[in-house]
Chains A and B, each alone.
Chain A
Amino acid sequence: MTAIEVAGLGYTHPGSDQPALADLDVSIPAGRVTLVTGRLGAGCSTLLEILAGVAPRLTGGTLTGTVRVLGVDPSTREGGRTLVGRVVMLLPTPSSQLSGMTSTVRDEVAFGPANLGWDRQRIARVVDGELDRLGIAGLADRDPATLSGGELQRVILAGCLAMEPEVLLLDEPAAELDPPMAERLYALLPELTATTVVLATTDVDRASPHVQEVVVLDGGGVVAAGSPSEALGQEAVVGLDAGSTVARIVYEAGGRGRLPIDVAGVREWIAS
């Protein structure tokens, strides 16, 4: 089943004459973790903003083509309203996502559910669950303004998950996290079986073992799509200098054809 359907999508940022996305076709399956990656400026963040309904309604710019998230067009007012709380996005910098309206971590995690009008018991249950899942129950009574970047990002993520979204979009979520914490964050994603997860990051090596689908963008269009080994193992992707480090090394060492993207893949590749 498809959660997100994009056809012929084009988008230009306001004040810019070069389109950020051009004639993009992408299909994102429900309930799975999809990695969207590419070089810097390939349009991954822009795509996520469009799926979240914030571009062009909030940021301006012009959109062409069709976008359907959970069957709804997020770029219309009605569509945006319908998707509130059902499509949630996590941004790279935690400090600009802090609401400022709460004095404890627990309340900050509850911010999203409170905006959705849930009753207090339901909120308390969900918040406790997410605090445990993210391993931040110990921070529950701390003032969010005193947390480190990594702690805060986990709090914001807990807040996003607490809304029980059907679609979770993550834009470089580990930008301010150290490697072990980034690893833990990516490892968490496949466990969210009830949610369609779309992860945009250039941290391919660390993220790809945890995702089930990959879409590679370049110049505003799709260059490769499929399972991680299918998409990231293509020579075209390696040539973009945006993908698996292992594949690139093998390619530069002379390997051709479908390239391995991790150590296990290399062993198989050597054996064959």
Chain B
Amino acid sequence: MIRHVEGTGILHRIHPLTAFGLAVSISTSVFVAPPPLGPVAVLAGTVILAVVSRLPSALGRTVVVSVPFWGFLLLIHGLLRHDPGRAVVIGSRVSTVILVFAAVVTAVQPARLVDALAALRAPFSVGYVFSATLLVVPRLRDRARAISEAQQCRGLRVAGSPLGRIRAVVPLTVPLVLSALSEVDERAVALATRGVGGRAVRTVLHPPNAGGLDVAMGILGVGILVGSFFWRVG
């Protein structure tokens, strides 16, 4: 999973929702812009944005995910269907979406996004489910690994015949589910006793600010989308 990285680039400094808006706008533009050059141009622009925002990890991750994708695209569309242009178009679109969301998710700290949503009076459940999921997923993954090790110590065989491996699924899954479900009660109780569910309107501790940079990025986002539209139509 992508982890937040501290930084001072553009995407770090703007309001979290401006960043996500920009990601949505760029992702839409790459589908609107006319093939074959449109998607490539948007991809190039997104790479520049990621470089300027100083997000090497997002770029790295995009390359890692994109390489097998492009490989298959060139195999299926380049080799088998003799239409490499289509491979480039689809590849550019996919890489753009991956890059722009990786960049935004790396730059925006989850707590800041939650604060931004709370400042807009989004229901508590939205922020909580988002945050709690991010907290719980790595822990349950670790627990799954620990359960696998423990069960193997007790004699569970995880390699060998397909039937044996299939049979191993349930003894590995049941303990995971049991531990997850028992935590439900504890979490619900903890929420109740720390004031969630009362009548009061929740105070937002750090409402994010939107400044000049947000206006600039907003204009950029809208501009890219509109520009793509006119390029396609014209």
Q: Do chains A and B touch in the complex (CB under 8 A)?
A: yes
Q: How far is the CA of A111 from the CA of B189 in the complex (A)?
A: 15
Interchain CB contact under 8 A, B193 and A54: yes
Answer whether A117 and B203 are a contact pair too, CB < 8 Å, given A81-B198, A89-B193: yes
Query: Known interface pairs A81-B199, A113-B203, A117-B203. Does A102 touch B194 (Cβ–Cβ under 8 Å)?
Result: no
**Selected interface stretch from A118-126, A130-138, A147-155, A257-265:** A118-126
How many contacts A-B (CB < 8 Å)? 112
B205 near A120: Cβ-Cβ < 8 Å: yes
Task: Name which of A35-43, A91-99, A179-187, A188-196 contacts chain B.
Answer: A91-99
B135 surroundings in chain A (CB, below 8 A): 98, 100, 145
Of B60-68, B76-84, B180-188, which binds chain A? B180-188
In the assembly, what is the distance between CA of A116 and CA of B193, in Å?
A: 11
Q: How many B residues have CB within 8 A of the partner chain?
A: 35
Contact A88 B193 (CB under 8 A): yes
> Quick check: B189 and A54 within 8 Å, CB to CB?
yes
Q: Are A115 and B194 in contact (CB under 8 A)?
A: yes
The answer to whether B205 and A114 have CB atoms under 8 Å apart is yes
Most chain A beta-carbon contacts within 10 A, residue among B128, B189, B193: B193
Residue of B nearest to A93 (CB): B186
Do B194 and A111 have beta carbons less than 8 Å apart?
A: yes
Q: Give which listed residue, A59, A80, A96, contacts B190 with CB less than 8 A.
A: A96
CB of B7 closer than 8 Å to a CB of A: no
Q: B198 touches which one: A102, A115, A169 (CB < 8 A)?
A: A115
A52 at interface (Cβ–Cβ under 8 A)? yes
- With the chains together, A219 CA to B157 CA distance in Å? 43
Q: Contact between B111 and A117 (Cβ–Cβ < 8 Å)?
A: no
Residues of B within 8 A of A58 (CB): 185, 188-189, 192
Known contacts A54-B189, A87-B193, A159-B194; decide if A114 and B131 are in contact (CB<8 Å).
no
Q: Indicate if the CB atoms of B189 and A115 lie closer than 8 Å.
A: no
Do A54 and B202 touch (CB < 8 A)? no
Task: List the A side residues contacting B188 at CB < 8 Å.
Answer: 54, 58-59
Contacts of A114 in B (CB 8 A): 202-205
The reply to whether A101 and B131 contact each other, CB–CB distance below 8 Å, is yes
Point out which of B194, B199, B205 has the most chain A C-beta atoms below 10 A from its C-beta. B194
B204 → chain A closest CB, angstroms: 8
Interface presence of B196 (CB below 8 A): yes
Given contacts A84-B198, A145-B135, contact A101 B128 (CB under 8 A): yes
**A33-B199 Cα distance, complex, nearest whole Å:** 29
B111 touching A102, Cβ below 8 Å: yes
A173 contacts chain B at the CB level, 8 A cutoff = no
Closest to B192 in A: A54
Question: Is B189 touching A84 in the complex (CB atoms < 8 A)?
Answer: no
User: What distance in Å separates the Cβ of B191 from its nearest Cβ neighbour in chain A?
Assistant: 8
Q: How far is the CB of B54 from chain A (nearest CB, A)?
A: 20
Which residue among B186, B188, B198 has the maximum number of chain A CB atoms within 10 Å of its CB? Answer: B198
Q: How far is the CA of A212 from the CA of B134 in the complex (A)?
A: 42
Given A91-B186, A99-B131, A118-B203, verify A53-B194 contact (CB < 8 Å): no
Q: In the complex, what distance in Å separates the CA atom of A54 from the CA atom of B191?
A: 10
Q: Which residue in chain A gives the minimum CB-CB distance to B4?
A: A103
Q: Evaluate contact between B203 and A119: CB separation under 8 angstroms.
A: yes
B202 touching A117, Cβ below 8 Å = yes
Tell me whether B205 and A99 are in contact (CB under 8 A).
no
A144 (CB) vs chain B CBs: closest residue: B135
Query: A123–B109 Cα gap in the complex (Å)?
Result: 23
When the two chains form their complex, are residues A89 and B199 in contact, meaning their CB atoms are under 8 A apart?
A: no
- Known contacts A103-B110, A117-B200; 19 additional CB pairs below 8 A are A52-B192, A52-B193, A53-B192, A54-B189, A58-B192, A80-B197, A88-B195, A89-B189, A91-B189, A91-B190, A97-B194, A99-B128, A102-B111, A103-B111, A111-B195, A120-B205, A123-B203, A163-B194, A163-B195
Interchain Cβ contacts under 8 Å between A and B, 22 examples? A54-B192, A59-B189, A80-B197, A84-B200, A85-B198, A87-B193, A88-B195, A91-B189, A96-B187, A98-B135, A99-B194, A101-B111, A101-B128, A101-B132, A103-B109, A114-B204, A115-B195, A117-B200, A123-B203, A123-B205, A145-B135, A159-B194
A residues contacting B by CB (< 8 A) are: 49, 52-54, 58-59, 80-81, 84-85, 87-91, 93, 95-103, 107, 110-120, 123, 145, 159-160, 163, 169
Chain B positions near chain A (C-beta within 8 angstroms): 109-111, 114, 124, 127-128, 131-132, 134-136, 139, 183, 185-190, 192-206
User: Shortest 4 CB-CB distances between A and B: which pairs?
Assistant: A117-B200, A115-B195, A84-B198, A100-B135
